[in-house]
Amino acid sequence: MRTFLSIAKLLLLAGIVIALPIYVYFEYPEFFNQFRTMEGVNAFLDRYQTASLFVYLGLQIIQIIISIIPGQFIQFAGGYAYGFWLGYLLAIAGVAIGTSVAFGLARVLGRDAVHLLFGEERITKFVNQLNSKKAFAILFVIFVIPGLPKDLVTYAAGISQFGYKPFLLLSLIGRTPALMGTIMMGSMLNEGSYFGLIALGAGALIVCIFLLIKRHDLTTYVDKYYNKFMKYNQ
């Protein structure tokens, strides 16, 4: 029975994370292709009109769980379609729900299923980091710097010792700067603020490159002040 349950769990996770998106991708390639550009996302949302808020929220959730659809275009389109604040609220709500689902899937289905799907070596590396004393700092740096493997880390966190509530809070805080910046750029494009859009985009690119280069120093810095904060509040 235990072996049967392990196989069933693995098949369920494989169906959600791999088989379902692959089926949709090859059977309905136009569905994914329309999300490769901001114009395509906006055209998709326009077709649903009043229901577009729920469609947009669903797209953000799916993007976190499956991560085939590029998140940046969805967030940019959210700022363009709904403005900064509503776009941000919808995006952060979708991120919270998607992160919770992915974390819960990994925790329920277990280590073996996650290892088989994403590679034991990569997952074990992240799990070891999440179980280390520097877990808080490592997670914060991963989430705050665009381009690092956030979705893979979410599945790794689900089979680590890291708690759900602190992980969710940390992921939302870490994602917020890049999320806000992308949504703001979409809003600026809609308002015709092209100079501000270019300036914000250039600034964000410079900051992103700097953080990538200095990510190890940033991890040490965050860990240092996190330990001081925890010691002060004991």
pLDDT digits (tens, 9 = 90+) for 167-189: 898 889 988 988 898 899 888 88
Long-range contacts of 17-24 (CB under 8 A, 24+ apart): 17/65, 17/66, 17/105, 17/117, 18/117, 20/66, 21/66, 21/68
Predicted TM-score of the model (pTM):
0.76
Q: Is the alpha carbon torsion for 18, 20, 25, 31 positive or negative?
A: negative
| Weakly modelled stretches of the chain, pLDDT under 50 | none
Tokens linked to 41? 């996302």
Q: Taking Cα atoms as reference points, which of 174, 190, 170 lies closest to residue 76?
A: 190
pLDDT at 189 (0 to 100): 84
Q: Tell me which residue has tokens 């919808």.
A: 90
pLDDT at 198 (0 to 100): 87
pLDDT at 32 (0 to 100): 61
pLDDT at 6 (0 to 100): 59
pLDDT digits (tens, 9 = 90+) for 204-226: 888 888 888 887 887 887 777 66
**Residue 192 backbone class (left: φ over 0; alpha: ψ -120 to 50; beta: rest):** left
Angstrom distance (rounded) from CA 126 to CA 139: 10
Domains of the chain by residue range = 2-232
pLDDT at 88 (0 to 100): 92
Contact between residue 77 and residue 225 where contact means Cβ atoms under 8 Å apart = no
From residue 231, alpha-carbon distances to 60, 224, 226 in Å are 37, 11, 9
Angstrom distance (rounded) from CA 43 to CA 213: 37
pLDDT at 191 (0 to 100): 83
